[in-house]
Amino acid sequence: MQHQIKAMVHAGFDVTLLTSKNFPVTDSRVKQIACDFLSKEEVGIVKWTSFSEAIAEHGDKYDLIWSNFPEMKIEKPHIRKKFEKFVSRLVIIMHHYDDIPFSTFFVPQYQTMAWVLENGGRVAAVSKTFNDGAKFRFEVKPNIITGNPYHVPDLPTYFVDKFEWFNNMWVEESLIEGELKSNGDFVVLGRCSKEKKLDVAVQAFIQSGSTKRLHVFTNEPILEPKQKEYYDKVRALDAPNIVWHINEQREGIFKVLRESSVFIFPSSKEASPLSPMEAASCGCKVIYTCPNCWFLGDSGVQVDNYRVPTFTKAINNVIAPTVNEKETARARFTLEGSLGAYAQRIVDFVGLRS
The SS3 call for residue 247 is coil
Distances (CA, A) of 320 to 150, 217, 286, 302: 51, 20, 10, 15
Which bin fits 39, alpha (ψ -120 to 50), beta or left (φ > 0)?
left
Q: CA 10, CA 12: separation in Å to the nearest integer?
A: 5
The number of angstroms, rounded, from the C-alpha of 228 to the middle of its chain's C-alpha atoms is 24
Helix ranges, the chain (H): 2-10, 27-38, 51-58, 77-83, 102-106, 110-118, 128-135, 156-162, 173-176, 198-208, 225-236, 250-259, 275-281, 308-317, 323-336, 339-350
| Structural domains of the chain, ranges and CATH numbers in brackets | 2-170+339-350 (3.40.50), 174-336 (3.40.50.2000)
Q: CA 247, CA 238: separation in Å to the nearest integer?
A: 18
Q: CA 63, CA 90: separation in Å to the nearest integer?
A: 9
The SS3 call for residue 90 is strand
**pLDDT tens series, the chain, 354 aa:** 667 777 888 888 887 776 655 555 455 655 565 566 555 555 555 556 676 777 787 788 888 888 766 556 777 888 888 888 888 888 888 888 777 777 777 766 777 787 888 888 888 888 888 888 777 766 655 444 444 444 444 445 556 566 788 877 888 888 899 999 999 999 999 989 899 999 999 999 999 999 999 999 999 887 778 888 999 999 999 999 999 999 999 999 999 999 999 999 999 888 888 899 999 999 999 999 998 898 899 999 999 999 999 999 999 999 999 999 999 999 998 877 888 888 888 888 877 543
Q: What are φ and ψ of residue 30, in 5° steps? A: -60, -45
Q: Is residue 186 within 8 Å of 256, Cβ to Cβ? A: no
Helix (H) or strand (E) holding 11: none
Q: Is residue 106 within 8 Å of 136, Cβ to Cβ? A: no
The half-sphere exposure of 36 on its side-chain side, counting CA atoms within 13 A, is 8
